Every structure is written in structure tokens, then in C-alpha cells.
């Protein structure tokens, strides 16, 4: 079955080999998009035939149903990094299919500040504005100047400024407000040549201090971030027994200040929390999970928590998508019962999977 002149539509392609959890049944249709034109052609093909369309990048944020995906899955594998100097900054435009950490490595090597704390995060560039990816004191929305996307309603390519992206904590317009409208094909970031690294996260600051680095370079911050993430099995490593995960399965919840105080008083011990600009308080999902009775390495058959981090749900031999969802639901319900706090998942669930009972 041909698509345009350069792209081939395959049928019943297993998704499991394209996801970091190693799970997922067959996609009804599948396109490996190496160029932006392939993405546009795939969108047109699906629209003409009334077939649903799903976009897949690095597969590090997807739990796919083993029953299969009744859609055309477009695997975005485009490449390209371009930059230009503007005033006191450099604007870097990157194809959606570029591996994220390759971009961070490139920026740090060229001494462009702005992405160094986001080292080691798996996935592709195209996912970063959707999730508003963040870690260790930085978020991509701090540097994004434009998101280039295919508008599925018109077929036109648009460049959206940050003000139109609806960025929030691990959120954006692409994820929540209109998740089926755009396909991200590129992102432009504004970085600072010879800029100072961002060191405002306590854990990172302590790690740098332990290395005797009071005025660290960008490369030294990247090294520390990678060491911290590696110690938590949050860097993809084929030899790591915790490797089959989506990283953090739950987002840190944000609650009203009064609710946070109630939880702290009930527990009677130090509770990690961070004041937000709107007066609410961000809590640690990992802390809530642990104080709801779960421990690192705990297993329920073929799935369990990472032996290094209670936020990561790990698949073992024989794991199935429904096992992951059932275990995640058990964690979510335990936290809700103990603290009256709802944990929302970071990964998207494809097919008939749902955390709702």
C-alpha cells in the first residue's frame, strides 16, 4: 500500500519494540516518517480514509494496549538542528524526531545555557513542548520561542509562540486543551551563549558542592544531573534492571496550601513541598507513594516499582499493559485514600487502557 511517493504504510506493526516499556500490540497502520513531508502525507492519508492518527516519538511516555491500536501510528523520526545568532542569544530550531539528549549534549558542548538541567531525559524533541518537560529547576517553556506544528484541522504548518502554547506544570495546550489538533514537527529554543548554568534545585546544588564545584560549568552541571538520574535509573541503560519503564509514572500533585498543611500535620514529619506562584503548593508524588505504604523494588507479579525510585513503574518478564495499569491504579487509590490527593499519570495510555475503575 503506497503513500505519496516516498512513504510506505505498513500494517499490523507491533508497537512494543518502539516503547521503553517494551509493551504494546499491533498498530493497524504504521508509517515511519523520516521527513516532515512524510508526516503531512500520513495525516492526509488518514484523513481521506477516516482513520484515527496517533503520533509516536521515542516511546518513553506511552503505555500501549496489547489488543492493538486501531489507528495509523506515525513514528516521527525526522532529523535536523539549525541555529542562528540573534542579539545576545542563539535560536536553535530542531526537528521533532531528534533524540532530546543529543540536543542537550550539543548545546552544552557549544556552551549554550538553558537546557543543561534537562540532561538524560529520554524521548524526542517533539514531545518536550507537549509535556513541558522539566527537571532540576528548568522547564523547556523557559527557552521555547516557537513550536512548529501541522494543524490537523487545516493541513497547514503553523509556528505557535509560547503565549499560544498554554504551558503549565508538565502540561500544554498540545497535551490537554487540544490534544488531537497539532502534530509537532519542530521546536525553536532561545539559548544563552556562554551563559551561566541554572543551579537552583537543592539536590543538584548538593551534588555539585560534594564535587567541590562552587561555580560549575555547563558541562559539570550536565555531569551531575546525569549522575543523579543514573543513580535513580532515570537514564536509559540496557544493562539496568529497571530500564523497562516510562520514568516517572505520576506527576507531582499541586494542592491548595490549606490541604498541604493538613497532610503535614497528619503525618507529623517533614514533608517535601514547594510554594507555587498562584499560592498553591506542589507535593512530592514519590513521598506520598512511600508514605502510602509502597517501597522501592516492591513487586506485584510481573510489574513493580523501580528498586531506585518509587515514581517509576517497571516491567519484568511477562508483564502486560493491563498489569501496569492495575498496579498504577493501586498506587493512585492508596494515595487518594491516605491523603485525599489525586495522582495524575505522566504517560499517555493508548487503546482501551484507563486508570479509572
Q: How far apart are CA 281 and CA 259, in angstroms?
A: 9
What is the structure's pLDDT at 7?
Answer: 73
**For the packed helices 218-231 and 202-210, what is the interaxial angle rounded to 10 degrees?**
110
Coil, strand or helix at 352: coil
- pLDDT 10s digits, 141-159: 999 999 999 999 999 999 9
Q: Domains (ranges, CATH) in the chain? A: 2-76 (3.30.43.10), 81-231 (3.30.465.10), 245-350 (3.90.78.10)
Alpha helices for the chain (secondary structure H): 36-49, 100-109, 127-131, 202-210, 218-231, 257-267, 285-291, 321-339
List active site positions.
Answer: 170, 248, 346
Share of the chain above pLDDT 90, in %: 94
Rounded Cα distance, 179 and 175, in Å: 5
Listed as ranges, residues in the chain with pLDDT below 70 are: 1-6, 357
Q: Which of 158, 131, 132, 134 is nearest to 146 (CA)?
A: 158
DSSP string of 98-145? SBHHHHHHHHHHTTEESSGGGTT--SBTTHHHHHT-EETTEEGGGTEE
Amino acid 270: pLDDT: 84
- DSSP secondary structure string for all residues of 70-102: EEEEEEE----EEEEEETTEEEEEEETTSBHHH
Q: Rounded to whole angstroms, how far apart are CA atoms 167 and 212?
A: 36
Mean pLDDT (the chain, rounded): 95
Spacing of C-alpha 242 from chain mean position: 17
What element of type H or E holds 283?
A: strand 281-283
Distance CA 197, CA 219 (A): 9
Which pLDDT value is given to residue 2?
A: 44
Amino acid at each position: 500500500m503506497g503513500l505519496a511517493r516516498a512513504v510506505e504504510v505498513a500494517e499490523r506493526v507491533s508497537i512494543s519494540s518502539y516503547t521503553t516499556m517494551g509493551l504494546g500490540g499491533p498498530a493497524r497502520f504504521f508509517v515511519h516518517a523520516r521527513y516532515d513531508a512524510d508526516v503531512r502525507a500520513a495525516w492526509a492519508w488518514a484523513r481521506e480514509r477516516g482513520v484515527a492518527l496517533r503520533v509516536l516519538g521515542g516511546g518513553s511516555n506511552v503505555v500501549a494496549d496489547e489488543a492493538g491500536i486501531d489507528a495509523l501510528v506515525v513514528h516521527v523520526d525526522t532529523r535536523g538542528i539549525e541555529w542562528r545568532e540573534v542579539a545576545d542569544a542563539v535560536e536553535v530550531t530542531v526537528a521533532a524526531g531528534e533524540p532530546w539528549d543529543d540536543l542537550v549534549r550539543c548545546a552544552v558542548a557549544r556552551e549554550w545555557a538553558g537546557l543543561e538541567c534537562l540532561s538524560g531525559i529520554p524521548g524526542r524533541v517533539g514531545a518536550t513542548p507537549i509535556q513541558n518537560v522539566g527537571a532540576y529547576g528548568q522547564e523547556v517553556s523557559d527557552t521555547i520561542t516557537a513550536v512548529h506544528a501541522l494543524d490537523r484541522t487545516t493541513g497547514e504548518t503553523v509556528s505557535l509562540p509560547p503565549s499560544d502554547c498554554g504551558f503549565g506544570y508538565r502540561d500544554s495546550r498540545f497535551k490537554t486543551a487540544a490534544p488531537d489538533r497539532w502534530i509537532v514537527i519542530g521546536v525553536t529554543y532561545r539559548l544563552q551563549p556562554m551563559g551561566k548554568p541554572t543551579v537552583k534545585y537543592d539536590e543538584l546544588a548538593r551534588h555539585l558542592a560534594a564535587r567541590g564545584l562552587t561555580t560549575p560549568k555547563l558541562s559539570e552541571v550536565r555531569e551531575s544531573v546525569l549522575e543523579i538520574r543514573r543513580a535513580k535509573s532515570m537514564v536509559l541503560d540496557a544493562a539496568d534492571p529497571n530500564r523497562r519503564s516510562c520514568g516517572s509514572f505520576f506527576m507531582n500533585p499541586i494542592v491548595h496550601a490549606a490541604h498541604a498543611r493538613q497532610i503535614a500535620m497528619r503525618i507529623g514529619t517533614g514533608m517535601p513541598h514547594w510554594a507555587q506562584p498562584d499560592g498553591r503548593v506542589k507535593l512530592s508524588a514519590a513521598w506520598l507513594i512511600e508514605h502510602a505504604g509502597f517501597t522501592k523494588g516492591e513487586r506485584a507479579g510481573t510489574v513493580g516499582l523501580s528498586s531506585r525510585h518509587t515514581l517509576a513503574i517497571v516491567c519484568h518478564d511477562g508483564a502486560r499493559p493491563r498489569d501496569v495499569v492495575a498496579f498504577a491504579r493501586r498506587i493512585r487509590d492508596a494515595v487518594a485514600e491516605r491523603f485525599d490527593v489525586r495522582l495524575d499519570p505522566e504517560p499517555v495510555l493508548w487503546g482501551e487502557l484507563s486508570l479509572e475503575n
